[in-house]
Chain A
Amino acid sequence: MPPSQSPAALLPLSRDALVILLALGDQPRHGYGIMRDVEARSQGEVILQTGALYRALKRLLAEGLIEECHAPSEADSADARRRYYRRTRFGAAVLDAEVERMARLVRAARRAAVGKRPRLA
C-alpha cells in the first residue's frame, strides 16, 4: 500500500511498532534478528514474543512503514524460511515524527510542576 497519508496520522505508535522501527534502522533483519536486537537495545526490558512481533510486522507492512527485501549478502542462508524486512522512507518519517512527539511530551512534562496534580472536580 503506497503511503497516502501524513506521518502524523499514524501517531502515537504502539510500543512494539516503535521498537521494531528502531531495530530496522541500520540494516535489514529477519524476525529472530529483530527479537534479539529489541532485547539488546532495551537491555532486556522489552522482550518481543513471536506472536506479538508478527502481529506488529503485519500491521507495519500494511501501513507501508516497512517492506520485505532480499537477504543482505553477508547473511548466512541457513534457513530458507527466513524473510528480511527493512524500514521504508515513509517508515523513517513516521519514526522521526514519533520521536519528536515524545520529545515534546517530555518537555511539557518537565515544565509542569511535578508532584502537584490538579484536583479533579
Chain B
Amino acid sequence: MTSENRSHSAMALYRALLRCYPRAFRDRFGEEMTSAFGDAIAACPTRGARVNFLASAVVDAVRSGAAERAVAWRSRPRTSNTHPAGDTAMQSIMQDLRFAIRSLGRRPGLVTAVVLTLALGVGANTAIFSLLDAVLLHPLPAVARTDEVVAIYRAGSGRTPYQGVSYPLFQAMADHTRSLRALAADAGTTAAVRIAGRAEELDIRCVSGNFFSLLGLRAQAGRLLTPSDDDVPGAHAVVVLSDAMWTSAFNRRPSAVGSTIRIGERPFTIIGVAPRGFRGTSLSGAPQLWVPVTMLTSLGTGGLLATIGTHAYTLPSFTFFSLVGRLRPTVTPSAAAAELTTIAKNVQRQAAGRSGARGNGVVTFDSRGHVVHATPRISVVPIVQAAALADRGSLVRFVTILVVVVALTLLIACVNVANLMLVRGSERAHELGVRAALGASRSRIARALFIESLLLALLGAAAGIGVGLLTMHLLSAFTLPGGIRLDRVDLSLDGRVLAFAVALAIATALLFGLVPALRSSRADLAAVIAARGTGKRRAPRGILAGVQVALSLLLLVGAALFARSLRAGLTTDLGFDPRPIAAVDVELDLHGYSTHARSAAYFDEAMARARRIHGVTAVAIASQVPLGRLLEFPLKGLPPADGTPADSTISAGFVAISPEYFSVLGVPLVRGRAFTRADTHDAPAVVMVNEAAARAFSPAGAILGKTLGMLGGDGARVVGIVRDTKYGSVRDEHIPVVFVPITQGNPMPVTSIITRSEHPAATLAALRRTVAAIDPNVSIDNPRLVRDQIDTVLMPQRFGATLLGIFALISLCVSAVGIYGVIAYGVSQRAPEIAVRIALGARHMDILRLVLLRTAVAVVVGGVVGLAASVAASRTLARFLYGITPLDATAFLGAVLLLAIAAAVASCTPAVRATRIDPMTTLRAE
C-alpha cells in the first residue's frame, strides 16, 4: 500500500467519523475539518505517529460529536413533553437515546461493571455451549443427515464394551440387512508414509468404497473412494487426502491429485481430497489418509497385519473392523440392532455347522478378566454419540459440569446486573420524580429507562462476543475425557447460543432497569421527592447479595476440589519416580526390520549409543513404558492347592523388558531376583510379576517358583516379584502385569528406548538425535518425558481447576462488589439517620451494627445455602476427583475462608466510612 493510499483511507475514515456530529455542525465545518485533518496527518513524520494521530482523532470525533449533539439537543426548538405535537416518534426516540448515552456517560463505573458482568456471562456461555455443540450435539458437521448414521459394534462387557467385527460378518450384514440403506467398514492403523519428500508415521483409515457416499461427502478435489476401489484385496493402491494433509504437504495445489505417495514400500496414487471439516467419524482421532479397506494388509505395517495377510478378510476371529451404517427412514437403532444380531447369530451357527468350532472364535473378558464365550450381540449407536464413545460417561458428565458452571456464571452476572440496576434506579427515584412533576408522561419516562437498559444490554452482549471468542481460544489448549483434543475440534461461535445469551442479558437489564421506573412513575410524586434520605426497600438488594454469595461459594468449592485433585494427582505415588525418565518409540517392523536378529542388533546399537549420552545413568528397552496403554492377555490361573485343575482365567498385562528395565524406572524388587543376561534362549523360561499379579494368581502368597502357563508356550517359572506401579493412568488401580525377558525371544514387539538421567529434557533431545542417526529411515515416535504424560492424564482436573478457578474468582470479585455496593448505598441513604445517632452519642460499634447487620445476615445465609448446595453438588464431581473425597475438608474450608475474607474486605470501607460521618455537616446538608 502506498502512502497516498494510506492517507486516502485515513481521509475516508475521517469523513465517516464526521457523521458523529449533528448535521448543522457538519454542514458548517465539515469541509474545513477534513482539510485540517488532512494537513495534520500529512505532517505526521512516521507511521507510528500517523496511527497515534488517527486513534486520537477517532476518540476526539466520538467525544466532540456526542458533546455537540448534546448541545444541539439542549438548544432544540422546545416542545412540551406532554404535548409532543410535530415531534415524530423517531425523533423523540433519538432524543431518548442521546439522553441515555449522556446519562450513562456520567456513570462510567456503573457502566463498566454492568457491561463486564454481562460480557462474562454471555461470553462464557457462548463458548461452553459451542463446545457442547461441537462435541456432543453436532460432532460431525461435514456429514449429511447425521441422525440416520449409526456406528455398529459387537457388544462386549467390562473394560471393552464396544468391539469390532470380522470382515465376513461385515459382508454378511451388508448383504442381508434390510434396516440399513448402506453399511461400510472402517479400520485404522498407522503406517510409514513418504509424502512430499518427508517420511512420517501417519494415521490411516482403511474404509470400504461406499464409506464416503454413505456419509454424504463430496470431494473438494479429484474424487473419493467408490465401491469398485475395494473389490480385490491389495489391488487398488489409491489414497484420499484429508484437507489438513492436502494443505500441509501440497499447499492445496490441485495438481496433488494424480501424484504418488509411498505407504510402506508401495506407491499409492492420490485420487482426491476429502471435504474440509471432515476428520473421520471419531473426535479423538484425525486421520490424514483414507485407503480402500482391502489395502489394510498392503500398507507395509509388518507385525500382525503382515502375518495375517489376506486372511484378514476371511478369518472370523480377526475382529478389526468397525462399521458405519445409514438407517433407512423410520428404522430405529434398536430395531437395526435386533436385525443385525439375528444375522450375526446365523453366521455363527453356519460357521459352527461347518467346523464344529465353538463360536466364531471371538474371545471376550468380563470385568474380572474371566473369559466369556457369548453369543454375539450387536450394538447400534447413533454416530453423534459414537464420535465420542471412549469414556463417554465421563465426557458427558464433564461437559455437563462445564455447562452448569457457565450457567451459574450467567446467573451470577444477571443477579449482579439486577443489583446494580436497582441501586441506580433508587438513586434516580428523586430525579425521575422531578421529571414527572415537570410534566413528563409515565410512558415517556419508562421509554427513556427502557432505552438506557437496552443500550447497556447491547454493549454487554457485544463485549460478550469478544469474551466468547477469547474463551474458545483458551479452550483449544485442553483435552476432554476420551482423548478429545480441542485444538482438533471445530469450535465455532454458535449463533443460536449467542442469540439466547444476548436475549437473556437484555431481559435482565430491561427487567431490573424498568422496575424502578414503574415504581417511581406510579408512586406519589411528593412522597418520592420527599423520601430522599430515608432509604427504604433495602431488602431486595440484601437478598441479591446473599444469592451471589451462595453461587460464588458453589463455584469456589468446585474449583478448590478440582485444584486439590490435580495436586493429589501430580503428587501421587506411581510406584516409581517419573522425573528422570525419558523415552522414545521406534516401530522397526514398519521399516523393513523383518527378522528378530536384525531388530535385536538395532536395539543393541541404540542402547550402546544412548548410554554414551551425557548424564544418562541407565538405559533399557521394553515393549511398554508407563504411562501408556497396556496390552492385556488372558492367562490361566495357577491350580489350587488341592490339586484340582486350574479353571480360572486372569487377564494380565504383558510387557517384554530388557534386564535393566527396573533399575531404569527405579522400581524395587520385592522378592526373588531380576532378569539377567544369563536368561537366554537356552536357559529355562522365566518371568517376573508385579505384586498385583502375585495376589491375583496366588492369593495365598506363594507364587515365587511356580510356573505360569504362557501364550503359546510351555510355561515359565516366576523368579521375581516387583512393586506395583501405575501403568495406564495415575487414576488406575494396580493391575496384574507379567514381565517377560526379551533375551528369551520376542513375544511382544519391543518399541521403546528408555533412559534415566539427571536432565531428562536435555537427554530426550539427545536421545532423538542419537537414535535417528542409527538408521535415518526409522521414524522416531512419541518422544516423551513420563512426567509430562502425567500432566496429559490429569488434563480433566487441570481443565476443571483452571476454568472453575477463573469463573470462581471473577464471581467472587463480582460478589464482593455487590456486597460493597449494598452497604455503601445503605450508608449513603441513611447518612442523616446515622448522623443523628452519632450526635446522640452512639458509639462506633452501634453504628457498625446498624449498617452491617442486614447484609451480614444475608451473606451468612447465602454462605450456608451455598455450602449446602456445594455438598450436594460435590457428589457429581466425584468421578473427576482423584485422591480426595468429594467432601474434602481442605477444599471446603479454603473456599469458605476466601469468601469470608472477600466479604470482610468489601464491607470494611463503607462501614468505617459510616462511623466517620460528621453529624454537623450531614445534618446541615439536609
Contacts and interface: CB of A to CB of B under 8 A. Distances in A.
B251 interface: no
B4 interface: no
Given A57-B29, A58-B29, A121-B921, A52 B60 contact: yes
Nearest to A82: B35
**B contacts with A: majority SS:** helix
Contacts of B339: none
Contact of A31 (B35, B43, B56): B35
Interface stretch (B62-70, B344-352, B481-489): B62-70
Contact of B33 (A36, A51, A79, A121): A51
Contacts of A51: 20-21, 33, 57, 60-61, 63-65, 68
**A contacts with B: majority SS:** helix
Interface string A44-56: 0001011111110
Given A31-B33, A32-B39, A35-B40, A49 B60 contact: yes
A81 B35 contact: yes
A54 B35 CA distance: 12
Interface string B13-50: 00000001100010011011111110110010000000
A79 B31 CA distance: 11
Interface in B639-687: none
A36 B42 CA distance: 13
B632 interface: no
B11 to A, nearest CB: 12
Nearest to A53: B36
A104 B442 CA distance: 51
B60 to A, nearest CB: 4
Contacts of B43: 36
Contacts of A31: 32-33, 35-36
B287 to A, nearest CB: 58
Contact of B40 (A32, A54, A82, A121): A32
Contacts of B20: 51
Q: Name the interface size band of chain A.
A: 20 to 34
Nearest to A54: B29
Given A32-B39, A32-B40, A49-B57, A83 B32 contact: yes
A19 B387 CA distance: 70
B920 interface: yes
B265 interface: no
Given A35-B40, A121-B920, A55 B67 contact: yes
Contacts of A81: 31-32, 34-35
A118 B678 CA distance: 98
A54 B29 CA distance: 7
Contact of A50 (B57, B920, B921): B57
Contacts of B59: 49
Nearest to A79: B35
Contact of A55 (B36, B57, B64): B64
A32 B35 contact: yes
B888 interface: no
Interface string A4-18: 000000000000000
A119 to B, nearest CB: 11
Which of A47, A50, A79, A82 lies at the interface centre, i.e. has the most chain B CB atoms within 10 A of its CB?
A: A50
A105 to B, nearest CB: 26
Contacts of B32: 30-31, 54, 81-83
Contacts of A55: 64, 67-68
A74 to B, nearest CB: 18
B133 interface: no
Contacts, number: 65
Which of B20, B21, B60, B65 lies at the interface centre, i.e. has the most chain A CB atoms within 10 A of its CB?
A: B60
Interface in A58-106: 58, 79, 81-83
B166 to A, nearest CB: 78
Nearest to A61: B28
B50 to A, nearest CB: 14
B918 interface: yes
A15 to B, nearest CB: 14
A82 B37 CA distance: 11
Nearest to B60: A49
Which of A49, A57, A82 lies at the interface centre, i.e. has the most chain B CB atoms within 10 A of its CB?
A: A49
Given A32-B39, A121-B920, A54 B33 contact: yes
A96 to B, nearest CB: 27
Interface string B887-926: 0000000000000000000000000000000101100000
A4 B43 CA distance: 40
A49 B920 contact: no
A49 B55 CA distance: 11
Nearest to B39: A32
Contacts of A50: 33, 36-37, 40, 57, 60-61
Nearest to A47: B56
Contacts of A58: 25, 28-29
Nearest to A120: B921
A52 B57 CA distance: 10
Interface in B44-100: 56-57, 59-61, 63-65, 67-68
Contacts of A53: 36
Nearest to B34: A81
A85 B266 CA distance: 85
Interface string B718-740: 00000000000000000000000
A53 B33 CA distance: 9
A58 B56 CA distance: 21
Interface string B592-618: 000000000000000000000000000
B756 to A, nearest CB: 65
A82 B20 CA distance: 21
Contacts of A47: 56
Contacts of B35: 30-32, 79, 81-82
Which of B20, B28, B32, B40 lies at the interface centre, i.e. has the most chain A CB atoms within 10 A of its CB?
A: B32
Contacts of B33: 31, 50-51, 54
A47 B921 CA distance: 42
Contacts of B60: 49-52
Contacts of B31: 81
A58 B25 CA distance: 8
A86 B261 CA distance: 80
B22 to A, nearest CB: 11
B56 A49 contact: yes
Contacts of A121: 918, 920-921
B65 A30 contact: no
A35 B41 CA distance: 12
A55 to B, nearest CB: 5
Contacts of B57: 49-51
B28 to A, nearest CB: 7
A53 to B, nearest CB: 7
Contacts of B64: 49, 51-52, 54-55
Contacts of A30: 32, 35-36
Contacts of A57: 29
A19 to B, nearest CB: 15
Contacts of A79: 35, 39
A53 B57 CA distance: 12
Nearest to B920: A121
Contacts of B67: 55
A121 B67 CA distance: 36
Contacts of B61: 50-51
Nearest to B65: A51
A53 B920 CA distance: 46
10 contacts: A30-B32, A31-B35, A49-B56, A50-B57, A51-B21, A51-B61, A52-B64, A54-B64, A58-B25, A83-B32
State the 3 A-B residue pairs at the shortest beta-carbon distance, nearest first: A51-B64, A49-B60, A31-B36
Interface of A: 30-32, 35-36, 47, 49-55, 57-58, 79, 81-83, 121
Given A49-B57, A54-B32, 7 more contacts: A32-B39, A51-B63, A55-B68, A79-B35, A79-B39, A81-B34, A83-B32
Interface of B: 20-21, 25, 28-29, 31-37, 39-40, 43, 56-57, 59-61, 63-65, 67-68, 918, 920-921
